[in-house]
């Protein structure tokens, strides 16, 4: 019996190995599953980040487009203002020229008035003397 009992103990040891191997395989499969799930989760997170960055990029692209349009509008308005300024300068020069002409005419008329007044005084003096 002792030999049979000893043999039975050895058999129990062999039977534990397949359970241990299955336990290691199950643990490995669980670990592999967790790693795969973690990779899927990372991929999903990265895809969400990429989508968010794409939205931000589109938003920035729209802002850039609006700024370009605004810049072009400002350039157009600046050119219009330059044309108006040139026109106003030309008008001012013409008005200044006309003002000088009028001032010259006024001065001439005043001189003529003085001459006429002087002539009138002479005539009045001649009339008084006669």
Answer positive or negative: Cα dihedral of 11, 14, 20, 26.
Answer: negative
**pLDDT for position 17:** 82
**pLDDT for position 13:** 53
Average pLDDT over residues 7-35: 79
More confident residue, 99 or 20: 99
**pLDDT for position 108:** 96
Q: Residue with structure tokens 């499969």?
A: 29
Q: What is the pLDDT of residues 96-130, one digit of tens each?
A: 999 999 999 999 999 999 999 999 999 898 888 86
Q: What is the CA radius of gyration of the chain?
A: 55
- pLDDT range class, residue 90, cuts 50, 70, 90: very high
**pLDDT for position 11:** 53
Q: What is the pLDDT of residues 29-43, one digit of tens each?
A: 999 999 999 999 999
Q: What is the distance between the alpha carbons of residues 57 and 50, in angstroms, rounded to a whole number? A: 10
- pLDDT range class, residue 46, cuts 50, 70, 90: very high
pTM for the model stands at 0.52
Q: What is the distance between the alpha carbons of residues 39 and 112, in angstroms, rounded to a whole number? A: 106
């Amino acid at each position: 019996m002792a030999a049979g009992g000893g043999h039975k103990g050895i058999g129990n040891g062999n039977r534990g190995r397949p359970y241990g191997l299955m336990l290691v395989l199950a643990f490995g499969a669980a670990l592999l599953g967790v790693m795969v799930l973690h990779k899927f989760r990372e991929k999903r997170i990265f895809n969400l980040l990429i989508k968010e960055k794409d939205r931000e990029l589109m938003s920035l692209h729209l802002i850039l487009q609006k700024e370009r349009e605004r810049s072009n509008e400002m350039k157009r308005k600046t050119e219009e203002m330059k044309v108006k300024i040139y026109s106003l300068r030309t008008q001012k020069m013409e008005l200044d020229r006309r003002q000088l002409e009028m001032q010259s005419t006024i001065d001439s008329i005043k001189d003529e008035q003085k001459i006429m007044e002087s002539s009138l005084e002479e005539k009045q003096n001649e009339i008084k003397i006669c």
